[in-house]
């Protein structure tokens, strides 16, 4: 058989496999999105002025560190199955939603992970209230819609300023802007996360060593 025919057959097989793979991946992604649940997380108000004063004395970094531990605990949602390797890990969405002059915090994730997530949240925030709610449609009766995507300017292995080096909680300025929206305006700040294998640390170390040698 001529070499050209062999190459044609190989190319045809690869294209066919890639087509079916992408088609299955798209169907799995659609099924995952349909199976998402939305958890509204509400932190209980302080019972007294004394409790409020105690809270203001605490360093905001201490409060952020609690959330850091919660995010680290989400690593338990990593799936080491063949499906997870072939079609990617399931996403978790953290969302600040400003709608009808109210601001809500949601966590959207797969229904199969709901119970685990609720246990983790309550473990770090025992006074919080978690409610499963329908998906909030902020686009209803809206004539103008705009979206933006923020990405790191440099590759992710380069360091960024973390909360340990901040002088104030940067989320306050974001929430302040959201609170100024009118009744006819809505906005969402969405952060998409997905767990990764522990080998990412070795990859980062290799890239850092490579950069230091230059």
- The predicted pLDDT at position 58 comes to 53
Q: For residue 51, what pLDDT is reported?
A: 53
pLDDT recorded at residue 38: 94
Domain ranges of the chain: 1-34, 36-213
**Helix/strand/coil for 7:** helix
Q: What is the pLDDT along the chain (214 residues), one digit of tens a residue?
A: 677 788 888 898 999 999 988 898 888 888 888 889 999 999 876 554 555 545 554 577 888 888 889 988 888 888 888 888 888 888 899 999 999 889 999 999 999 899 999 999 999 999 899 999 998 888 887 788 888 888 888 877 777 777 777 777 778 888 899 999 888 889 999 999 988 887 877 888 888 788 777 6
- Which pTM value belongs to this model? 0.78
Mark out the alpha helices in the chain (DSSP H runs).
3-34, 49-57, 60-73, 82-87, 114-124, 171-179, 200-213
For residues 117 and 91, what is the distance between their CA atoms, to the nearest angstrom?
13
What is the structure's pLDDT at 131? Answer: 94
| Residue 14 in tokens | 């690869």
The pLDDT value recorded for residue 57 is 41
Token readout for 164 is 């340990």
Residue with tokens 């590759």: 155
Tokens of 200: 């990412």
**CA 190 – CA 199 distance, rounded (Å):** 26
């Amino acid at each position: 058989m001529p070499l050209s025919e062999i190459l044609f057959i190989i190319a045809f097989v690869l294209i066919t496999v890639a087509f079916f793979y992408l088609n299955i991946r798209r169907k799995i992604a659609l099924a995952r999105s349909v199976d998402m649940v939305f958890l509204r997380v509400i932190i209980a108000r302080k019972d007294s002025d004394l409790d409020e004063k105690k809270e203001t004395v605490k360093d905001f970094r201490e409060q952020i560190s609690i959330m850091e531990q919660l995010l680290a605990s989400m690593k338990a949602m990593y799936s080491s199955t063949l499906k997870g390797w072939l079609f990617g890990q399931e996403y978790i969405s953290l969302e600040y939603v400003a709608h009808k002059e109210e601001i809500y915090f949601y966590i959207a994730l797969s229904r199969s992970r709901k119970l685990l997530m609720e246990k983790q949240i309550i473990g770090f925030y025992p006074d919080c209230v978690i409610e499963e709610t329908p998906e909030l449609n902020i686009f209803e009766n809206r004539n103008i819609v705009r979206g933006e995507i923020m990405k790191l300017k440099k590759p992710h292995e380069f360091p960024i300023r973390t909360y340990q080096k901040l002088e104030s909680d940067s989320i306050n300025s974001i929430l302040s802007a959201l609170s100024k929206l009118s009744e006819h305006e809505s906005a969402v700040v969405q952060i998409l996360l997905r767990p990764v294998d522990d080998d990412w640390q070795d990859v980062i170390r290799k890239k850092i060593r490579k950069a230091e040698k230059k």
